[in-house]
Structure 1
Amino acid sequence: MDNEGVSLPLFHYHLMMPWNDLRRGDCCRSLESISDGYYCKTCDFFVHKNCGDESSKYIEHPSHPNHTLELGSYTYNKFCTLCGIYIVSQIFYHCDICDFSMDLNCAKYPPPEVIDISETHHHKLTLLEERIDFDCDAKCGKITYGFPYKCHECDVAFHVDCVWPLLEVHHHPLEVNHSYHPWHPLKLYTGQPPDYSDGTCRLCARKIDDRLFYHCSSCNFTLDMRCVLHPPQQSLMDLKAHDHQLTLLPRLRSFTCNACGLSGDRSPYICVQCDFMIHQECLDLPRVININRHDHRVSRTSVLGVVNSACGVCRQKVDWTCGGFSCQQCPGYVVHSKCATRRDVWNGKELEGVPEEIEDIEPYVVIDENTIQHFSHQEHYLRLHVNGVLFDDNKRCSACSHPICLHSFYGCMDCDFILHQNCAGFLRMKWHVLYNERLTLVTNEAKIFECHACGKLSNGFRYQHENRVFDVRCGSFSEPFVHPSHPDHPLYYISGDEIKTCNGCNMWHSRVLNCVEDGCTFSLCFQCAILPQVVKHRVEDHPLSLCYGEDEEANGIYWCDICEEEVDPETWFYTCKDHQASLHTKCVIGDFSGLMPRSTIEGMLTFEVVLNNSVSRPFCRNCKLHCIYPITLKILGTSEYFCCFDCLKV
């Protein structure tokens, strides 16, 4: 497999790898006999080679002779005008003048206007040109609105994709003799697999979803069209997977894959000499890769050999006797094979044979024990100031834009440039659990951006790759993450579809940091995880500390001294040292805490970032209330303000 990326701008915005895959293409949704194509590991997106190489930006098509059709790669609720099928792949030809859309499959192989499928219906069927409500006579149970084939004599209708396999029957033999099932011929079937079948292919274990397959009812043996057209090799020598020749065992048999440690139920490749078994899909596991959970490359190994270890991605126990990925520089760091190669963890790049780039990612040079030269401010030296200052709105970190406030910081010896000591140590390049390409610390742009992790606006330093941007507080996240609110157990990001409640804000989030200890359900969203532990606000003379909520049985009602509304004692809030004040975290921090005061923001309007520290608070242009948050946005050259992100969006 070639390692060089291929650009297919008509189809996809990422570089794609030359690939060989027996699957339906995301380009035209058809199953190609020739399986060469291009694949994006990041998006799990596959394009047939002939679609990628031969498709044109503009075409003339006989189904729409009046106008030229243009290839598009975006669609919302679009249906193919010819076949009526929803354009799942988001690639289609379109006429803006007529609102005519056609998927790639119909552009290549348009459904005939009239068909004859006497095996199913004794009259000819005509493809309607307008969408209608109908009940599909194939009893498929799918939605009943679209462009059907209709019999005008019997008043019955069929989905196009319900009768299309019946047309394809004529292009395939009704019976085949297959080398992996020599006892009986396999018969061609259409529609759903028999009820007694498990609905999956005996060789590749894929679900039968092509509505066209071969089956032996005597042996309950099913093959999908992929494995009929391109059966897996009976034996192979793949030193990338194993040192000896491997032989396919085409039968139902429970086994544990030596490459990934997971169980299988059919057709492994085996090495009798070593008692080695491997899933077919594990044959192509890469050898050396980067994953977004670790700073070093990880390499595939046949036996992990680290007893009582946990996977660096899912945090579950690994079987040390099986294969996986391990770090050569960090003893004990191991990852399941399936976890390491997930598309939200790995960028799809095989690095075996690729020299590792040795880059200086340290952010500063040490001049002496109290002096550094930071790469973002090379013209002057920075001097360390321990314990910060009590509070000064004008002393703000250039990286995170937050006030210094009791934190140690580096200050420029010749100008007003300041960095928190912690912010000064952020690496120039790093990986992040929410993105599978390495991020670069950008310090020379003051453009506003929205952090991908916490959703907050910022114009300070950022970690960035292409259009994915993190502020430095979220971007510097690494595992294990220890938070003072949960000191006994570290937190990890476990990706998945489950939505959890954050213990900080008591709101539902899809991306949270989790405690993985048995029985512990503690979770934190990124926005709560980066809340400062100590802040200063003008309503209190003393610094405010972050309080991690009160006991559910606590008595009394809490009121915020800023907005004068009730505070939920089970959520986090800020309080002073005598605990006589309770303040909402948003009221103390605001939505624009990541913006540097006195900076300007260019957009449809030009805004000035303004500290809300005057005696009289300005009115918000949208909500018509006094702005209570510490930083507001003012339309440049006017007296109109916005107090928060919600008001700005309206």
Structure 2
Amino acid sequence: MEIKYFDHPHHLLSLSKTKYDLIDCPICLEKLGSIGTQNYNCSTEGCKYGVHESCTKLPREVQSPYHPHPLTLRRPLIHGRLDFYSFKCNGCRKYDKGFVYSCDDCDFKLGLECAFMGPVKVIEGEGGCQGQLRKHPNHQQHPLLLFEKVPNKHYKCPVCLKYCSDPDPTYGCWECCLYLHDGSCFETKLPPQIQHFYHPHPLTLSTTPRNVKCRACYEWSWNIIWYYSCKQCEDFGMDIPCALSVLAASTTTKSESQIQHFLHGHTLSLNKNKLDDQKVADCCVCRKGCTGPTIYVCGRDGNCKNIYFHKSCLEFPQQICHPFHPYHPLTLTLVEQNFYHLKKCNACRKSIHTFILYGHCSFAYICEGHKCDFLLHAECSTVMMPVITYEGHAHLLQFRDHNIENNKLNCSACKSNICESCAFTCLDCDLNLHLLCGPLPHSIKHKYHNVHPLLLTNSPVQEELEDETDEFYCHACEEERDPQLPVYYCAECQFVAEIKCVFSEVR
């Protein structure tokens, strides 16, 4: 059997066994070998054109109830040119591929599935067409129609965020691209305003379509028509399921097993079951492994499936004032970033590894509302190492006596490596200084030895060299010290003090 097909007019197509299984059908862009055993193939030798038999049965022209003009099946035209791969469907507002039903006079296009979707014309039963049109309190501008032939994974119900598809009844408004599952979704009452524990301001029900990133589950909803947003914070949005979950949780009895916390937009549950040994579960605050019974989890699917918190990490305050950034308060919040710009802790200089798209979330103290770009690990916020001001440098310098080797820092003064040594490092830029290259005064007075001034001296000191001792102590703290680091020293009294023990006098 041979046919003449409009997309390949120069050669006849014959129904035969598929010759080229891995070639795409130009209509649906699925492989020719993916549907059935026979396709319409070009009968001319050397021509690899082929079409699924089912695709050739699509009508060349349709009349959609959503457009006044007939729609013709063709390759999509983008800016007047043929585009084989993508177009935006005016029905579901999504980008589709393959052939399209389009209007010759208007820039109107429907995907193959959306072109055959439409309202039910006749509903059998008592009352004739009663029930075909329904009104919804949150959508007063148009009635909602009962739809049939709803394509799968094209239209999301904004109440449950699950796809509408046959055979489940779907009510919708074509003009507004609003589609609802019949039943509980349609009957759900959406309050015009709610107060959510995750945000300080009231959230208002919005009905203007836009792309919304839910701040509770971190999921994007494209062109969603119903969501809750904050009138004071333009970028804060929350989808309907996450917003209503807190209302449902508020009706249950509060206990230690279920808590609401400012770090996550869903209710957290105490995980009483032992985690699988093969499952890697890191706390979102400290990024250390979660073990033991005192672990709080979200338990939802999607981006929330890897939300784990140590109970102790949930005890960090939401806002702190820290000497490393004395200019503004720091707020413990989610750190968002991309692959191309890894944010680092200003104290330890280690990266904050957090990619929400892959379920990895991290929280840190940041300076909100100011362009400081200052970030502090929650654990680093508990380390109160001294900081000083240094003449000739605009930022604070931190005294560090650990993690130098792992960070492989170079001294900005002598250009040599700072390895296994204490140092001064800038909290905001890449300035690093050995102790002797940095801003240490030559002479100080200290409360532990107020008889004579203490002089900055290389270690070991003279009497230690003469005694050939292998034990080195700080007389201020009476603990062993590193003999390779310089000290403050009184030769007359043979008093030796580590720099960190007399740091209050160095500043």
TM-score (normalizing by structure 1): 0.29
Higher CA-based Rg = 2
TM-score (normalizing by structure 2): 0.35
